[in-house]
Structure 1
Amino acid sequence: MQKPIEAVPGGTRPQPDRRRLSYAAPMRRALLLLILLCAAGGAAAQPADGLDYDPPIAVAAVLDGRTVSLADGTEVRLSALDIPAGKWRDIARSVLAGLLQGRSVRPAWLAPVDRHGRALAQLQRDDGVWIAEELLARGLARVDAGGDDPAPALASLLVTEAEARAAGRGLWGDPAWAVRPAETLGRGDLDRFQIVEGQVLQAMVLRGRAYLNFGTDQRQDFTVTAEPGVVRLVAGDGQDLLALQGRRIRVRGWLDWSGGPHIGLVRMEQIERLD
């Protein structure tokens, strides 16, 4: 979809009191150590992944490849994951059951529990295993960066996905779920989550809406768009979509048709710069 994108001089230095120094130096060292320990403790209190976990709760059942039921009846949908339909969902369910059977987890909630007792969350097993990361490491899922997960968490998950992809693990050995070159997209790739790579030939904002065009044929080219609210949010974070012109990027999201194959951007974490 192609759019027009718009010291005291002269004095005698006093001699130090050696007895006082013998006490002062250890005291200074102790104070410095205390400061360092406090600083380290403060840093540890801030999760590197931006996730805030609740106390552990037992897992009652695994419902599918990314949904579990907790002992209190809450159904947790693992966030930031896309698991392709078919055999990969069956395999993911089996693996998830093996990971969580008879275990407890600590949820990091990303949305309130709805009236049906369901909510999106990240889960950490009682021994510290990050469940989403484990599924990604085994090549059983892809990162869906379009949700409410903190950016540091998504950055970590994307690294894990990249390692699995490079090793050809799991679904990454299946051509049906390979990263798609932008120029090869067709109608057969629509209506599903896709990861697309290509060069942004034109980037422009028109009436507040951003367009990243990957081709010159307005009937067939791949385009990424961002609504005005997203453009303002991105700019508020000090990022510039227009700076992507001429760059190779990888973008992920739901692929539909809007004057050509199209992905709607909701946050910058959906985009990875490749150059």
Structure 2
Amino acid sequence: MSSIPQQTAIESPVVTDPAWCYRASAAALLVLVSGGQTLAADCALEPQGEGRVAAVLDGRSLRLEDGREIRLAGIERGGTDSARGRAALSAIAGSRDVTLHGDDDSPDRYGRQGAILFATGSEQSVQGELLRRGEALFSADIADKNCAAALAAAERAARDAKLGIWSDAMAIKNTESPGDILAAVGQFTVVEGRVLSVRQAGAITYLNFGRNWTRDFAATIPRRIIPAFEGAGLGPKSLENRRIRVRGIVSSRGGPRIELLRVGQIEVLGGK
């Protein structure tokens, strides 16, 4: 998965050239600030409209006054309490004017528009704020690298501080307890352990965390995705005997499984 943050100081010389001022302002917006927070530029993708929040539907969905249903991109709630998730999102965005950013505004099959959301007057995205408070999990489905890094950093800050979701010792499942992972079937889950072996079967590569395929946890990578992992220095064979953290929807095929479709779903935790 990802890493970053750091505090940077920018001096503002006294100048009157409007072009210089514009460039300096744009540069300043790109700076990461301390504590896992990020300025708007990190996730200010293409603007996709604006509106006012009429209702919060759950921990990552809301409806605008014009009837559009918005699904917050880049985050998941996992198996956490739905009422708590709705309350957290309401506290940040409820009844607020918001702007939407994203790659496009095409609705998904349920008619929801995926977007990075900013409440008017806030330089922190709604997603970043939820992650910073430990009220969401980074889903790794953001293509923009700056935005993905900013959201991952916000989650990491909450995890290090044991805030919200991360105050629960079971927030990260251990691969040595496959039963705990299996209990999360259908949920977005974070799992951690050592890869014991890497095997290919047909078009699927298996990162095996145990020796019994009918019981133990494994992460799977489809053949078509392998080049992306190799390009990021995460070729499957290089992960053998490494301790890693993976995230995704848990399924059950023999033992519990998580399918890896994006490089950001893997985080290497240490040496061999």
TM-score by length of 1: 0.75
CA contact under 8 A between 2:99 and 2:117: conserved in structure 1?
Answer: yes
Moved more, 114-123 or 128-137: 114-123
CA contact under 8 A between 1:56 and 1:126: conserved in structure 2?
Answer: no
CA contact under 8 A between 2:43 and 2:125: conserved in structure 1?
Answer: no
Specify the code of the residue in structure 2 equivalent to 1:94.
Answer: A
Q: What's the secondary structure of 1:183's corresponding residue?
A: coil
User: Do the aligned partners of residues 102 and 219 (structure 1) sit closer, same or farther apart at CA in structure 2, a change above 3 Å counting?
Assistant: closer
Query: Deviation digits for residues 190-226 of structure 1, max 9, x if unmatched?
Result: 3322211111122244444322111222322211111
CA distance in 2, matches of 1:115, 1:211: 30
> In the alignment, is residue 132 of structure 1 matched against residue 150 of structure 2?
no
CA contact under 8 A between 2:61 and 2:70: conserved in structure 1?
Answer: yes
Q: Which residue of the other structure, out of 74, 83, 93, is the alignment partner of 1:90? A: 83
CA contact under 8 A between 1:214 and 1:223: conserved in structure 2?
Answer: yes
Relative CO higher for 1 or 2, CA cutoff 8 Å, sep ≥ 6?
1
User: Do the aligned partners of residues 152 and 109 (structure 1) sit closer, same or farther apart at CA in structure 2, a change above 3 Å counting?
Assistant: same
Moved more, 264-273 or 34-43: 34-43
Q: Which residue of the other structure, out of 86, 97, 117, is the alignment partner of 1:104? A: 97
Specify the code of the residue in structure 1 equivalent to 2:58.
Answer: D
Deviation at 1:92, TM superposition (A): 2.2
Which protein has the bigger helix share? 1
User: Do the aligned partners of residues 50 and 233 (structure 1) sit closer, same or farther apart at CA in structure 2, a change above 3 Å counting?
Assistant: farther
**Where does structure 1 differ by over 6 angstroms across 4 or more consecutive aligned residues?**
33-39
- Gapped runs of 5+ residues in structure 2? 1-16, 31-40
Match of 1:256 in 2: 251
Q: Which residue of the other structure, out of 58, 61, 75, is the alignment partner of 2:55? A: 61
Q: Which residue of the other structure, out of 207, 217, 222, is the alignment partner of 1:212? A: 207
**1:36-75 equivalent positions in 2, closer than 5 A:** 47-49=41-43, 51-75=45-69
User: Do the aligned partners of residues 36 and 71 (structure 1) sit closer, same or farther apart at CA in structure 2, a change above 3 Å counting?
Assistant: same
Q: Which residue of the other structure, out of 136, 140, 165, is the alignment partner of 2:159? A: 165
**1:163-242 equivalent positions in 2, closer than 5 A:** 163-175=157-169, 177-186=170-179, 187-235=182-230, 239-242=234-237
User: Do the aligned partners of residues 114 and 139 (structure 1) sit closer, same or farther apart at CA in structure 2, a change above 3 Å counting?
Assistant: closer
Deviation at 1:48, TM superposition (A): 3.4
CA distance in 2, matches of 1:202, 1:153: 33
Q: What's the secondary structure of 1:105's corresponding residue?
A: strand
- Gapped runs of 5+ residues in structure 1? 1-32
Match of 1:27 in 2: none
> In the alignment, is residue 272 of structure 1 matched against residue 267 of structure 2?
yes
**1:6-25 equivalent positions in 2, closer than 5 A:** none
TM-score by length of 2: 0.76
Q: How many residues align?
A: 240
User: Do the aligned partners of residues 106 and 234 (structure 1) sit closer, same or farther apart at CA in structure 2, a change above 3 Å counting?
Assistant: same
CA contact under 8 A between 2:55 and 2:95: conserved in structure 1?
Answer: no
CA distance in 1, matches of 2:241, 2:218: 14
Deviation at 1:97, TM superposition (A): 1.9
Identity among equivalent pairs (%): 34
User: Do the aligned partners of residues 148 and 166 (structure 1) sit closer, same or farther apart at CA in structure 2, a change above 3 Å counting?
Assistant: closer
Q: What's the secondary structure of 1:123's corresponding residue?
A: strand
User: Do the aligned partners of residues 167 and 45 (structure 1) sit closer, same or farther apart at CA in structure 2, a change above 3 Å counting?
Assistant: closer
Query: Deviation digits for residues 49-75 of structure 1, max 9, x if unmatched?
Result: 473334542222222221111233211
CA distance in 2, matches of 1:210, 1:116: 31
